[in-house]
Amino acid sequence: MPIIRRLSTQSAQFDTELRQLLAYESSQDDAIEHACKEILQGIQQHGDTALLDYTHRFDHLQAGSVAELEITRDELQAALNSLPSEQRSALEAAAGRIRLYHERQRTADWSYTEADGTVLGQKITPLDRVGLYVPGGKAAYPSSVLMNAIPAKVAGVAQLIMVSPTPGGERNPLVLAAAALAGVDKVYTIGGAQAVGALAYGTESIQPVDKIVGPGNAYVAAAKRRVFGTVGIDMIAGPSEILIIADGSTPAEWIAMDLFSQAEHDELAQSILLSPDADYLAAVEAAIEKLITTMPREAIIRESLKNRGPWF
């Protein structure tokens, strides 16, 4: 069975096929929204008890209390200390560059007094508490930690609470090391809509935050949409998308890897390549067939490209 789906603008059915491909199934959207509504209501009404239940149900992680789901600062530091020297150096270099960039973005307070004595100006006040969602299920990215946590710390946020699912109790040492480098204050091994609810509404063990940032799957995105207004959010992010327009001059292997870079995130991620050169499309397809078996998340990439990866 072909890995990818190919559409042609010359086909009489092109417009219909394109609309079908770009539109999420309404039934799927409805199911996600319904599930998120129930989960968020459960967190509001039952706090820690609901959070522990959902964590057990969805992440197969059993805990007697939310405290058992917290990763201590010592554990974060241990993860950083245990990294191979090359990985640690790369992580530290990235953190340093991100911090330097965002320090240049800082805006200072200013004011002036008009002739009649009126004082006008601008005062920058950092948020007290921010929640950071970091994917930790099918894919885990230390970059998500650094790119969200470091700007918050540079801005002066007093407390940064990170949530990241650890299905089956499996932790990603790079993610934990990144949290240590970025100065994250608290880390909980929770995820999904239930983690968003805990951050937004608070529970007996987790204090509510002022804003939630960070990417996640469709359930996380739906939950962030529902809690917006109760808390601030950065944006509705996910599933990932990429659109590549190629004239045929770029090596086919490069294009294949660019498509993989988004397809590996989620089965619902969308990777699209547009090209007027049919021979070039065939070359990219051959490159995909050759390289896909070397990818750590091969199964997810295959499903994503099959479901939502058209080429024109």
Q: How many residues does the chain have?
A: 312
pLDDT at 9 over 90: no
Dist CA 98 CA 72 (whole Å): 24
- Contact status, residue 179 vs residue 76, Cβ threshold 8 Å: yes
According to the model, what pLDDT value does residue 25 have?
54
How many percent of the chain have pLDDT more than 90?
Answer: 72
According to the model, what pLDDT value does residue 265 have?
80
Dist CA 295 CA 77 (whole Å): 29
CA atoms within 13 A on the CB side of 181: 31
Q: What's the whole-number average pLDDT of the chain?
A: 91
Dist CA 285 CA 87 (whole Å): 32
Residue ranges of the alpha helices (H) in the chain? 14-22, 26-59, 73-81, 85-103, 142-155, 173-182, 192-201, 218-227, 252-263, 278-291, 298-308
Residue among 74, 72, 76 nearest 176 (CA): 76
Range 159-180 burial, b when 16+ CB lie within 10 A, else e: bbbbbbbbeeeebbbbbbbbbb
For 231, which DSSP code? B
All structural domains of the chain, each given as residue ranges with its CATH number in brackets, are: 24-101+122-238 (3.40.50.1980), 239-311 (3.40.50.1980)
According to the model, what pLDDT value does residue 310 have?
61
Q: How many CB atoms lie within 10 A of CB 90?
A: 14
| Parallel/antiparallel/unpaired status of strands 110-113 and 119-122 | antiparallel
Residue among 238, 224, 208 nearest 304 (CA): 238
- Reduced 3-state DSSP string for 130-179: EEEECCECCCECHHHHHHHHHHHHHHCCCEEEEECCCHHHCCCHHHHHHH
pLDDT digits (tens, 9 = 90+) for 31-61: 889 999 999 999 999 999 999 999 999 999 9
Please identify which residue in the block is written with the tokens 């939310």. 66
Which carries the bigger pLDDT value, residue 139 or residue 214?
A: 214
pLDDT at 26 over 60: no
- Contact status, residue 257 vs residue 291, Cβ threshold 8 Å: yes
Distances (CA, A) of 192 to 70, 221, 289: 16, 9, 33
pLDDT digits (tens, 9 = 90+) for 247-287: 999 999 999 999 998 888 877 788 889 999 989 999 999 99
Collapsing DSSP states into helix, strand and coil, what is residue 67?
A: helix
pLDDT at 308 over 90: no
Instruction: Please tell me the least confidently modeled range out of 26-35, 67-76, 97-106, 247-256.
Output: 26-35
- Contact status, residue 178 vs residue 93, Cβ threshold 8 Å: no
Residue among 201, 199, 202, 241 nearest 218 (CA): 241
pLDDT digits (tens, 9 = 90+) for 226-237: 999 999 999 887
Instruction: Please tell me the least confidently modeled range out of 23-27, 194-198, 253-257, 267-271.
Output: 23-27
Confidence of residue 27 (pLDDT cuts 50, 70, 90): very low
pLDDT digits (tens, 9 = 90+) for 115-144: 999 999 999 999 999 999 998 866 678 999
Q: What are phi and psi of 233, to 5 degrees?
A: -135, 160
Residue among 21, 1, 3 nearest 13 (CA): 21
